[in-house]
Chain A
Amino acid sequence: MPSLKDLRNRIASVKATQKITKAMQMVAAAKLRRAQEAAEAARPYAERMGAVLANLAEAFEGRDDAPKLMSGTGNDQVHLLLVATAERGLCGGFNTNIAKLAREKARSLIADGKTVKIICVGKKGFDALKRELGQHVIETVDLRSVKSVGYANADEIGKKVLSMFADGEFDVCTLFYSTFISVIAQEPTAQQLIPGSFEAKGDGESDGAHPVYEYEPDETEILEDLLPRNISVQIFRALLENAASEQGARMSAMDNATRNAGDMIDKLTINYNRRRQAQITTELIEIISGAEAL
């Protein structure tokens, strides 16, 4: 049985924890707004890029001289998994969900006899994957020192992936991240980066008849220029989505934690008061029975 003093200490400690989780929730809320704005600001670029690439890709449909980044190496033996997670924990199932998706994919690839290589962006993903797939992780990218993700960060990762591709170190590249749907919903997503697939979306403007474009320099050169850029852009977008998802996940996780702490405080307080009353009653009985005995 805990003594009254023990209970008092417990209550004080839970209250302190509650204050921390509450503060974290508010910080996450503020950061979420910023992250969301950044993700929204980046959207037009990625969308235009996708539209233009889809246009160009159509022209190359079925041609042998299409760039490798689009058509692939004609092989799918070596897979590169690019797993983007957060640098910090305490954000509910965010990191775990991404890692789980990546792990399942890696498992099924290994079962098929493929070679798997993993690049972890973010420490938490590596922590989650290293036990089972540690020997497949070839690199971890640390973004801990980066306060808000800039295009330069994504570009760096993109360049690394591209140079590996150029050296023939992998055939297929898949990017894992979490799509931000709402504060309480984030969806772990796997997206194939290389070879790229571009779906021409009906964006209202194209009315079946494609305008005859003039290209300068020619189509091949532009496509070769654009495809590597697109990799960086996609990674950038994924990182931004991730940043927003992370804050959203943290916010709801911390909200839950704050509520739990509140419940716990209530229970402990009731317990504490009961014990206190019981103690007073006992003392009174002792005094009264002592007086009666005289």
Chain B
Amino acid sequence: MAELFQFELVSPERQLISEQVAEVVVPGAEGEFGVLKDHSPFMSSIAPGILKVRKDGDAWDEYFVRGGFADVAAGGLTVLAEQAVPVAEISREQLDQAIKNAEEDAVDAKDDSAKQKADRTLRRLKDVAEALKQA
């Protein structure tokens, strides 16, 4: 059995998860990363995407997260997300709205780096939408 560590998923409105888990896969700004027990201290901003959590079994719980950061410390992993919704509860409209916002951001972007960032966000969101459609 995998060793467990403390994981917290917090959105501004409520605390979604606070429990012992075996493994978490976080959609980091520079790529997905997995966190197991005793991960070295690490901090990353997160990109819109699917965050996966595995408790001691084999089943993965999936959450859609957007905007925020992950903080891996000795005490465990904390993900602060501006928006966090269990995948089962996410509605098409919310996602469409997010995509629309991202599209507007991409159009409005003032300089190249902002544009690149907005494009990346948009691509991520579209991937998520695609993945959800298949599910």
A residues near B, CB below 8 A? 38, 41-42, 44-46, 48-49, 52, 150-151, 154-155, 205, 211-217, 221-222, 225-226, 229, 233, 236
Contacts and interface: CB of A to CB of B under 8 A. Distances in A.
- What bracket does the count of chain B residues touching chain A fall in? 20 to 34
A175 B12 CA distance: 19
B84 to A, nearest CB: 10
A42 B12 CA distance: 5
Contacts of A48: 8, 10, 71, 78, 80
A222 B80 CA distance: 13
* A45, A52, A215, A226 interface centre (most CB from chain B within 10 Å): A45
A35 to B, nearest CB: 13
Contacts of B15: 41, 44-45
Contact of B10 (A45, A211, A216): A45
Given A48-B10, A151-B13, A236-B12, A217 B29 contact: yes
Given A151-B12, A205-B75, A225-B45, 9 more contacts: A44-B8, A44-B10, A44-B15, A45-B11, A205-B74, A216-B28, A216-B44, A225-B69, A226-B45
The secondary structure that dominates the B interface is: strand
17 contacts: A38-B13, A42-B14, A45-B12, A48-B71, A49-B80, A52-B43, A52-B71, A151-B11, A205-B73, A205-B74, A211-B73, A214-B41, A216-B43, A217-B45, A222-B43, A225-B45, A229-B67
Given A151-B82, A226-B69, A215 B43 contact: yes
B48 interface: no
B30 interface: yes
B60 interface: no
B40 interface: yes
A287 B83 CA distance: 84
Contact of B82 (A46, A52, A211, A229): A229
